[in-house]
Structure 1
């Protein structure tokens, strides 16, 4: 959804929480610490997704992904104090279940917001969805939370019902919203590395009034941000503060080879090895997002110092839900000429009018792309052409870094493709490891 997106995936995540870990079953805690688990991230345009449209060409899908990215960054910059993702920006989906017995839900994996919520019966105002709505009265483990509970007070916006139970309210930058009961129930995650993982006493939102730009193919949101009620924070010590994801290349996500991106928790989320580089996660008042410090970008041997409006620590958000990487126009006005000078070819215009630098890339002409390295504090991340250029037509490729007039820089998912990206809450670090995510 939109950062108000995102995450264009899943994925910015956990560090800094002011309250004690929310309760999860003791059996699960022991198991998660011992083995960890992984879940599948379903790309918006993959054959596994309900959004898949076989009639669209690969280039039309690229255009749609880029367009969603622009929608997302606009909402990051317009409404950063709110939860920030709605359907136009969805990049990744997750299959989860809620309640006892488990009720299956296809939810948007949202690194730009926190609360896990789904539409619930009875619904006074619900957006249309093809699947059945969750009925909390049929779940033996569903319990409403008191408006005096720690979890209720942790919400940015909450109120008391007549029976003194907690009512939540979340809104998004495109005017979409969800209102309902804050509750606890069992959330079950489908694991790619073993049996389904039940998380008991997980805080969720049971939405009875929801509207906006939601699509009928999904039922709710799994918030993966950094505040107290997100899925990642609620897992807490059960995952040892560790989480990672590996995003497959865009073209691979569209293929029918049944390989998806992965989201890893606990011991499965450890990122280690000689090729790993790490940078500090920076805590800010708005702890939904995950902030890094970008110092410079090198194009070949030329190093361009990063300067934005803040010029301070935590000057860029990492987000798996935003497709492109967005920088201030002032910085991009230095980066684009440096890249253009290093490429021995004539630039052409983006036929869609969206991207800043494009080249004609015919089968008999290979554009030689120089090495591009992103210099975070303590971590030099060398990107491949797969991270920095995308084919927008049969003949034209374009640079995936874009100048923006917004207040926030965003490190998007094209730049994270084929890296194992690991978040460590305990150490407050984020790590990058070059990885073939199609085989991870």
Structure 2
């Protein structure tokens, strides 16, 4: 994702549990990491940032835990529960590694989408402080921020599909509830959104940007939690809602042990996305290279995005991959179904027995993907569809359908991302 002058390819999940938590102030030793639970809740809804091919998928919510903060997940998306202000006001925000800004709908909401839960009211918080423009480093960390006539730092931040948030950058206390039940608070810069438009649903209260830019949550917290690093272990979207996923921040979030594979994060001018290099995907024992024989492989041809459900591949690569997948499944795919569209789908009375796909990342990081990660059942009973789609761009997205049942760690300081195959339902 890119930020607003250019628009983010963010895919949002939306749903919120009405769970209240008493958040008390707490002290915390410097450079300690923390973990939070993600709350899972099945809820049909449209996502403002989801690709149209996957917009028909119902959402469901998962819980995440580690040195963490509360997160809620939907089918292919995840929401984090945090609290802003003093006294704390609960917010459920979309977790997105493809964008940077942390924001919430704020009163007064001049032009806001409908929201079931109360919007954040800065007048009820003793710790809320608008950021001035002059001599303010935080204001200018966001390239779309502008100064108002009253010297307040205003912002505009956009996402793919035309959704955007506009408001005021402010400093505020943010409180996470760790997996050990302790409230942990920090001061961060966030967007108090007074004009928020797009296809957000009434249970989405904002967004938690976890990208690599200077204003993202992980960049702001890094010095206080033992480094700019975090990891998550996401359960498949059809898992029992009572089983939590986990997300960890800072010290203790490292992905270690047997079976870990790592690939290098590729630095580009846009610091937000986590670019990696995908050399190809094997279908069974057959390698389908990222580029055809006439093209040179470019570094950073994919980015890893928790806010995008499907894998999105450049059109030529996608077409070649689909042909090979079809060749290795001994069933006839569903054809000419207007509800399913052009997706590769199969109907079966039991789980689809598809081939193992292996994503080959630069540096020898081979990540095996079972049908659990590559075929997603849409609303139609007994129908499984390939959890991938295509794009005219030459850069693809490694979405979170493929990330389930892996402990995935992002280390911005070392410039690597690591994968460890894990049963995330047992973490």
TM range (shorter): 0.7 to 0.9
1:377 aligns with 362
In structure 2, relative to structure 1, the CA distance for the partners of 1:72 and 1:204 (3 Å cut) is farther
User: Per-residue CA shift, 1:147-180, capped at 9, x if unaligned?
Assistant: 1311111111122223323122223333333222
In structure 2, relative to structure 1, the CA distance for the partners of 1:333 and 1:181 (3 Å cut) is closer
1:21 aligns with none
Give the structure, 1 or 2, with the largest relative contact order (CA under 8 Å, sep 6 or more). Answer: 1
Deviates more, 1:279-288 or 1:373-382: 279-288
In structure 2, relative to structure 1, the CA distance for the partners of 1:195 and 1:361 (3 Å cut) is same
8 Å CA contact 2:376–2:385 kept in 1: the answer is yes
Measured after TM superposition, the shift of residue 8 of structure 1 is 5.1
Does structure 1 residue 225 correspond to structure 2 residue 225?
no
The runs of 5 or more residues in structure 1 that have no matched partner are 11-24, 54-60, 74-87
- Determine which of 143, 146, 149 is the counterpart of 1:159: 146
Does structure 1 residue 399 correspond to structure 2 residue 386?
yes
1:133 aligns with 119
Measured after TM superposition, the shift of residue 424 of structure 1 is 0.6
Residue aligned with 1:347, SS: coil
Measured after TM superposition, the shift of residue 127 of structure 1 is 2.8
1:37 aligns with 34
Matched residues, number: 388
CA distance in 2, matches of 1:136, 1:320: 29
User: Per-residue CA shift, 1:241-294, capped at 9, x if unaligned?
Assistant: 220111101110xx34x1232221123411111110000111111222111100
What is the TM-score normalised by the length of structure 2?
Answer: 0.82
Residue aligned with 1:369, SS: coil
- Determine which of 171, 186, 195 is the counterpart of 2:173: 186
In structure 2, relative to structure 1, the CA distance for the partners of 1:324 and 1:270 (3 Å cut) is same
- Determine which of 107, 110, 122 is the counterpart of 1:121: 107
User: Per-residue CA shift, 1:372-416, capped at 9, x if unaligned?
Assistant: 211000201111221122234333322223333344311111111
CA distance in 2, matches of 1:150, 1:112: 23
The runs of 5 or more residues in structure 2 that have no matched partner are 15-24, 56-73
8 Å CA contact 1:90–1:108 kept in 2: the answer is no
What is the TM-score normalised by the length of structure 1?
Answer: 0.80
8 Å CA contact 1:28–1:199 kept in 2: the answer is no
Of Structure 1 and Structure 2, the greater helix share is in 1
In structure 2, relative to structure 1, the CA distance for the partners of 1:143 and 1:101 (3 Å cut) is same
CA distance in 1, matches of 2:336, 2:398: 21
CA distance in 2, matches of 1:383, 1:147: 48
Q: Which residues of 2 match residues 324-363 of structure 1 at below 5 A?
A: 324-349=310-335, 351=337, 352-363=339-350
8 Å CA contact 2:94–2:204 kept in 1: the answer is yes
Moved over 4 A (4+): 7-10, 64-67
Residue aligned with 1:112, SS: coil
